[in-house]
Amino acid sequence: PENGQYGISNIFNGLGDNAVKIFGEGEIAFNLGDSWVGSLTDVADDEGYWLIVNNATSLEVQGLPTAPVSYSTHTGNNLLSYSYGEDQALEGALAGTDAELYTSAVYGEGTMAANLYDWSDNTDAGWVGTFPGFEGGGGYWFVASEPFQFEYNEPVPGAFFSIHEQPPVPEKYQFVQSTSQYFYLITE
């Protein structure tokens, strides 16, 4: 935000009691109605968050652009922001960066991509899975095989890439997205 107030209450209080909790990497904030409690007190431009709400809603935050942002990761799971306002394909966002080399998987809400290496002929098989790309302002889990630093590539002006919304799910097949998810890649 332009006023420099990155506190949870400053950013999320507009959602009222609809906001239940916010997860960060290894931290959480609970909404008690009149205050937020927990180890997560402020948001940062290089971290990603999961906001849990009772009912679908929109949250608009106005402020100054933060991109490009430099990210530092550790081995294992890293919850990172996507710092650009424009959507971008996975390959374009990470091409030529250390993230492309040392990220074994990227997870989004209900989607994932694995960066596969074919050990039989020592070739890079590339990204496979259902994760199409990064959505402006989104947060994503990066699974790092070793620590690295990177910046997303800047979206190419005039290039069109948009995350397509899934068609509505028939009522009898609807579900609530779990924060505990797992994916399987089947090759044969």
Residue 187 has pLDDT above 90, yes or no: no
Residue 114 has pLDDT above 90, yes or no: yes
C-alpha distances out from residue 41 to 4, 34, 87, 110, Å: 14, 15, 28, 27
Confidence of residue 177 (pLDDT cuts 50, 70, 90): low
Residue 13 has pLDDT above 60, yes or no: yes
Identify each DSSP E strand in 54-181 by its residue range: 71-72, 76-81, 88-89, 103-108, 111-118, 123-129, 133-134, 139-144, 149-150
The two counts, helices (H) then strands (E), for the chain are: 3, 13
Confidence of residue 83 (pLDDT cuts 50, 70, 90): confident
Give the dihedral sign, CA 164/104/154/42: positive
Residue 119 has pLDDT above 60, yes or no: no
How far apart are the C-alpha atoms of 81 and 95, rounded to whole Å? 17
Average pLDDT over residues 117-144: 82
How far apart are the C-alpha atoms of 149 and 26, rounded to whole Å? 20
46 touches 54 (CB < 8 A): no
Confidence of residue 137 (pLDDT cuts 50, 70, 90): confident
Residue 64 region, left (φ>0) first, then alpha (ψ -120 to 50), else beta?
beta
More confident residue, 177 or 29: 29
| % of the chain surpassing 70 pLDDT | 86
How far apart are the C-alpha atoms of 146 and 90, rounded to whole Å? 20
| Tally of CA atoms within 13 A in the half-sphere of 90 that contains its CB | 22
150 touches 82 (CB < 8 A): no
Residue 165 has pLDDT above 80, yes or no: no
Give the dihedral sign, CA 15/142/150/99: negative
Q: Which of 39, 132, 41 is nearest to 88 (CA)?
A: 132
What are the structure tokens assigned to 53, written together? 């709400």
